[in-house]
Structure 1
């Protein structure tokens, strides 16, 4: 009996949303027909207002909070930033974030590029691409749970010679089959950070392959044929033809994955919770703000994360403009 009113409310919400969109599109079409594209200016004001309320104000508020103490009631200057760059635990957070940002984009892009070149126009290309792209369809939390089982470790000391401890983790079971001791992959630092990075590479390699494969197929056929007629080998073809042609796409892939790594949260939170020296800025920001109730330090970490992301975005925009100008 209670389900019918909820369904009715949902239907009304959908109808109202559709009506609002129809009115907006109708007004845009009317003003465009009456005065060219000048009518679009009527919609700039509300858009800017929404950006100011939803983006600019929270950003400025976060910057201000970064200069306050844990409770947000006392001005402490740059003490929070000083703690980030001097405290040993926070330095580990920065180190791990740098490792994520340096390793993941290049490895994932290299794997995606090599895979895209190898399967290009090969038999079963669609199936081969689907296999490496499938992890992109999994949420980061889901992928983390999968790999947490892959890395699972059981202490062999709990078993006997007749009844040895069964390893649930696939990687440790392989080590047992090879008569090697199982390893607690997520415990020892800094190796555990690299094992977490593997999860992101597994996901992002499919993204890199998809973008770069499309760029490779966009290379004019006459250029490829001319190079082959000149006797260019496979390596020279990649160096002088393929890579220069797909360079803008490579830059986009690298910067996109780098930004994703700077903001990485789900994998670390799900697999280790930031323990065992695996913490990163996004997870530390969450922990300080919501778990430790240190709003000042949490805001300062958010500002540092924003500062790290901005140069990558600026570089990406410049590269796109440069490629369009050619």
Structure 2
């Protein structure tokens, strides 16, 4: 039944778009007819129609952006200045509470730790894999396998990795891969995701596993764009593989590396699904997005505090996003 609903929704969406564009252009041609006896008026109508027609195509996207992006921003700012119910104005009380809250400080530190590790690790592994698989016959097969986790949702990936980190009491058969390896070599099984501080790295491994495929695909395309002449010249001059990689290849794709790094950084600032599914912020693994979700939708909900945390996330993301867009434009130029 759900499949039927999904297919019906897609069909209705496609037909609705076609009907909108056909109907809007038909109305525009009726309002500004191009076939008139007065050639001067016909020319003016054609110019006016040409000015309006692009906005007919842009209008749905602009309305969607205004509804789902612009309006939520202003509504979040408004809620962050109001009380729990979002009705009584309290000024900056929610922000004062936030920066004095222990759990918020823990979330900030954990997000900072994620920012240090995940973008660097995912970009590094993606770059190394892209370089190693670029010139071997089975490289595309390897890339397909490494890219495959990108097709899995974050919650799905968290469920998979729960089996990797699964813990059973000592003496019981370990179904978790990590504990099975530890026990095989004579160690004691551990409840990995409950170990403070280190459990953050176990959660980060999931996102690195997912995002390495993204970094690999983008960087592989950049590597293939490097002129063969520069590589051949370096080989003739006696450069070895490492020298070619670090001194020839990396400098030429540095802009792409920066774009990949910052793209993953933006994702890390908004990380939520993995933490929610694995620990729900317990054992000192709380992050900003999960903390916002807790305050806004759990325990009766506090829209003011939840919105204040959302504004902090937005403020942290915007500078990186602007920098990323500028670098992407430079790459295109």
- Please report the TM-score for the alignment, with normalisation by the length of structure 1: 0.88
Q: What is the CA-CA distance between 1:78 and the residue it aligns to?
A: 1.6
- Do 2:164 and 2:177's aligned partners in 1 also have CA atoms closer than 8 Å? yes
CA distance, structure 2, for counterparts of residue 236 and residue 213 of structure 1:
18
- What is the match of residue 88 of structure 1? 102
The alignment status of 1:55 with 2:63, answered yes or no, reads: no
CA distance, structure 2, for counterparts of residue 67 and residue 264 of structure 1:
25
- What is the match of residue 73 of structure 1? 87
310, 321, 325: which one aligns with 2:329? 321
The alignment status of 1:309 with 2:323, answered yes or no, reads: no
- Do 2:21 and 2:56's aligned partners in 1 also have CA atoms closer than 8 Å? no
1:3-58 CA-to-partner distances (Å, cap 9, x unmatched) read: 9x989976983574253255179569979x94496332455566544433332222
Q: What is the CA-CA distance between 1:220 and the residue it aligns to?
A: 1.1
Summarize the Cα distance change of 1:28–1:267 in structure 2 as closer, same or farther, 3 Å threshold.
farther
Q: What is the CA-CA distance between 1:323 and the residue it aligns to?
A: 3.3
Greater mean deviation of Cα atoms: 230-239 or 20-29: 20-29
- What is the match of residue 267 of structure 1? 274
233, 244, 252: which one aligns with 1:226? 233
Aligned residues: 315
- Do 2:203 and 2:274's aligned partners in 1 also have CA atoms closer than 8 Å? yes
- Do 2:269 and 2:317's aligned partners in 1 also have CA atoms closer than 8 Å? yes
- Do 2:256 and 2:331's aligned partners in 1 also have CA atoms closer than 8 Å? no
1:56-75 CA-to-partner distances (Å, cap 9, x unmatched) read: 22211110110112122222
1:66-113 CA-to-partner distances (Å, cap 9, x unmatched) read: 011212222222221122222111111111111112210001100111
- What is the match of residue 174 of structure 1? 181
Q: What is the CA-CA distance between 1:276 and the residue it aligns to?
A: 1.1
The alignment status of 1:207 with 2:206, answered yes or no, reads: no
- What is the match of residue 258 of structure 2? 251
CA distance, structure 2, for counterparts of residue 12 and residue 205 of structure 1:
35
Structure 2 unmatched runs, 5+: 35-45
CA distance, structure 2, for counterparts of residue 144 and residue 11 of structure 1:
29
CA distance, structure 2, for counterparts of residue 320 and residue 278 of structure 1:
33
Structure 1 unmatched runs, 5+: 157-163
SS in 2 for 1:228: helix
93, 96, 106: which one aligns with 2:120? 106
CA distance, structure 1, for counterparts of residue 104 and residue 6 of structure 2:
49
- What is the match of residue 13 of structure 1? 12
- Do 2:21 and 2:57's aligned partners in 1 also have CA atoms closer than 8 Å? no
The alignment status of 1:147 with 2:161, answered yes or no, reads: yes
CA distance, structure 2, for counterparts of residue 12 and residue 177 of structure 1:
54
- Do 1:83 and 1:90's aligned partners in 2 also have CA atoms closer than 8 Å? no
Q: What is the CA-CA distance between 1:188 and the residue it aligns to?
A: 1.4
- Please report the TM-score for the alignment, with normalisation by the length of structure 2: 0.86
- Do 1:196 and 1:267's aligned partners in 2 also have CA atoms closer than 8 Å? yes
- Do 1:28 and 1:40's aligned partners in 2 also have CA atoms closer than 8 Å? no
- What is the match of residue 303 of structure 2? 295
Q: What is the CA-CA distance between 1:198 and the residue it aligns to?
A: 0.3
Q: What is the CA-CA distance between 1:273 and the residue it aligns to?
A: 1.1
Matching of residues 19-38 of structure 1 within 5 Å: 19-20=18-19, 22-23=21-22, 34-35=46-47, 38=51
Q: What is the CA-CA distance between 1:214 and the residue it aligns to?
A: 0.9
CA distance, structure 1, for counterparts of residue 144 and residue 10 of structure 2:
37
